[in-house]
Amino acid sequence: MQAQYDVIIIGGGIGGLMAAYGLRMNQPGLRVAIAEKGRRVEQRKCPAAGGRSCVYCPVCSITSGFAGAGAFSDGKFNLGTAYGGTLGEELGERLAMEYIDRVSDVLDRFTPAGIHVKEYGSNEALKLKCLQNNLRLLDMNVKHLGTDNNLLIMENLIRWLEEQGVELLPDTEIRQVEAVPGGYRLRSGQGELEAGTLVIATGRNGAEFVGELCRQFGISMKSNAVDIGVRVEMKDAIWREFSSQIYEPKILCRTRTFEDRTRMFCFNQGGIVSAENNDGVITANGHSFADPARKTENCNFAILSSIHFTEPFNNPTEYAKSFSKMANLIGNGNVLVQRFGDLIRGRRTNDHRLGQNTVIPTLKATAGDLSLALPHRILTNIIETIYALDKVAPGTANDDTLLYGLESKYYSLKPDHDRDFRVCDGIYLIGDGSGICRGLSQSGAMGLYVADKIARP
Ligand SMILES: Cc1cc2nc3c(=O)[nH]c(=O)nc-3n(C[C@H](O)[C@H](O)[C@H](O)COP(=O)(O)OP(=O)(O)OC[C@H]3O[C@@H](n4cnc5c(N)ncnc54)[C@H](O)[C@@H]3O)c2cc1C
């Protein structure tokens, strides 16, 4: 197959979709295609849904496919720059906010009539409470779609793009990029494609692809941090003071022993803990649903410890993966779960103790011992953070609190780029894969921004 496009967007997550939307709005005549290694959004089904263990699909439907890694997420769009990336530093606060607000407007446009999307603001009293306990509450406006609405809105947006002539190419993993006169030739398992301009929006999932591209085109890359830790689950009531007033408590902690930075984030009220397959490594995550009927009596959040490596080490992602693999090894191919009380007493959790726990696990994970899979420094940071959080939400450090591991967030390597996020002539790099952002709003904002730069340079 030989095709000719003005722009090919590689990756159909929020970054790629917003780029396509922006291009369509700016220049309806452009020939635009989105090449996505996963499936069409309506065909994304996880065979392990409903509590079964991961069956290791060659392309994971949870993390890949149209609507990207965020397809089944909680759909929390942070309407600010305090976290979720460094777009504010890259573009300046005012411009970054302008694009983040535009993402919010696009979501509104594709929200079906009758669906009420909740927005949450900041809370001074809770901020003070955290401050008095040596914690920093990161507070920002949040638009919360919920998993089900998020998916509906993404489906509407994708349908509109297709109706407007954007070509959707599912099951098309781009493996090679080659410069040709006037543009680039792409190779996938499906054949060849050609385009004058490329927008690379491959997310964290595409780290290897971006790394290879940078090596091939001589683009230098800076190493980034990595966050490693656990997903924490407890009774919803324990964090209700926070969750009833702000949507998502995100709290920074400086740990006592090492003075490292940890963060509590990705809070899911009434949610479930989930397992996801990241290129064969099974890690923990969390979701919640807007539909009250699907709420559980638990809440969950991540506690991750940030590590910034210095020379000569330059492979933080592999470092994080190796510990997650270790947890999978001990967990017989699955995520580990441990009661906090067992962890601090230095013993593994077994099925018997888990069966008697007051917090009922929402993910079927392997009862075990996280201290065998986490380095001492990170484990100490996590334990100290749990005790620190217990001061603002008493009960967080209960024996029956469950820790699932591992969870990690990699920041992609950060390739050199110009102010328009161009890494070389005719190639733009956006979204999580750029190492600049790690969230839906900022990834989407980058998509809209480069669409403006391509259509109106
Ligand atoms: C479970 C979960 C919950 C989350 N919840 C939230 C949340 O509530 N709020 C928030 O702000 N963020 C959340 N995030 C993070 C958010 O999903 C990401 O920041 C966001 O999806 C990044 O968008 P992106 O377009 O850059 O990349 P992605 O969404 O990762 O999309 C990249 C796409 O590129 C495709 N791809 C990769 N390589 C290739 C290739 N070589 N060829 C073709 N296609 C390729 C992938 O299959 C993928 O579909 C969550 C993430 C997860 C996993």
CATH class of 4-120+142-222+413-455: alpha beta
Question: Ligand 1 center to residue 66 CA distance, Å?
Answer: 10
Give the chain's count of helices (H) and strands (E): 12, 23
Question: Ligand 1 center to residue 150 CA distance, Å?
Answer: 13
Q: What is the mean pLDDT of residues 332-339?
A: 97
Which pLDDT score is estimated for 10? 98
CA distance 144 to 139: 14
What phi, psi does 216 have (nearest 5°)? -65, -40
Q: What is the mean pLDDT of residues 364-391?
A: 97
Q: What is the mean pLDDT of residues 72-99?
A: 92
pLDDT tens by residue, 247-277? 789 999 999 999 999 999 999 999 999 999 8
Question: Ligand 1 center to residue 13 CA distance, Å?
Answer: 5
Of 203, 113, 111, the C-alpha closest to 151 is 111
Nearest CA to ligand 1 atom 19: 439
Nearest CA to ligand 1 atom 15: 439
| Ligand 1 atom having least distance to the Cα of 446 | 26
CB 85 less than 6 A from any atom of ligand 1: no
Question: Ligand 1 center to residue 350 CA distance, Å?
Answer: 34
Q: 83: part of which helix (H) or strand (E)?
A: none
Which pLDDT score is estimated for 402? 98
* Residue 165 DSSP code: T
This prediction has a pTM of: 0.78
146 or 9, higher pLDDT: 9
| Ligand 1 atom having least distance to the Cα of 173 | 42
Q: According to CATH, where is 3.50.50.60 located in the chain?
A: 4-120+142-222+413-455
Which pLDDT score is estimated for 168? 98
Q: What percent of the chain has pLDDT over 90?
A: 76
User: Sorting pLDDT into bands at 50, 70 and 90, what band is 144?
Assistant: confident
Which pLDDT score is estimated for 117? 84
CA distance 404 to 425: 44
Question: Ligand 1 center to residue 434 CA distance, Å?
Answer: 12
Q: Are 412 and 205 in contact (CB under 8 A)?
A: no
Is the peptide bond prior to 312 cis by the omega test (within 30 degrees of 0)? yes
CB 170 less than 6 A from any atom of ligand 1: no
Q: Are 339 and 369 in contact (CB under 8 A)?
A: no
Judge whether residue 3 has pLDDT over 60.
no
CB 431 less than 6 A from any atom of ligand 1: yes
Nearest CA to ligand 1 atom 6: 73
The whole-chain average pLDDT of the chain stands at 93
Nearest CA to ligand 1 atom 7: 76
Residue 283 bridge partners (DSSP): 276
pLDDT tens by residue, 309-329? 877 887 888 899 999 999 999
Q: What is the mean pLDDT of residues 346-355?
A: 97
| Ligand 1 atom having least distance to the Cα of 188 | 42
Which pLDDT score is estimated for 46? 86
3-state helix vs strand vs coil in the chain, percent to 5 = 35, 25, 40
CB 144 less than 6 A from any atom of ligand 1: no
Judge whether residue 439 has pLDDT over 90.
yes
CB 438 less than 6 A from any atom of ligand 1: yes
Q: What is the mean pLDDT of residues 350-377?
A: 97
Judge whether residue 299 has pLDDT over 90.
yes
User: Sorting pLDDT into bands at 50, 70 and 90, what band is 1?
Assistant: very low
Which pLDDT score is estimated for 51? 63
Which pLDDT score is estimated for 205? 87
Residues 6+ apart with CB under 8 A from 143: 76, 77, 79, 104, 107, 117, 118, 119
Is the peptide bond prior to 28 cis by the omega test (within 30 degrees of 0)? no
Which pLDDT score is estimated for 326? 96
41 or 223, higher pLDDT: 41
Q: Which range has highest mean pLDDT (117-126, 140-149, 237-246, 337-346)?
A: 337-346
pLDDT tens by residue, 105-115? 999 999 998 88
| Ligand 1 atom having least distance to the Cα of 437 | 19
Nearest CA to ligand 1 atom 46: 64
CB 10 less than 6 A from any atom of ligand 1: yes
Judge whether residue 411 has pLDDT over 80.
no
Q: Are 69 and 13 in contact (CB under 8 A)?
A: yes
Burial class (CB in 10 A: 0-12, 13-18, 19+), 326: middle
Burial class (CB in 10 A: 0-12, 13-18, 19+), 129: middle
Q: Are 131 and 123 in contact (CB under 8 A)?
A: no
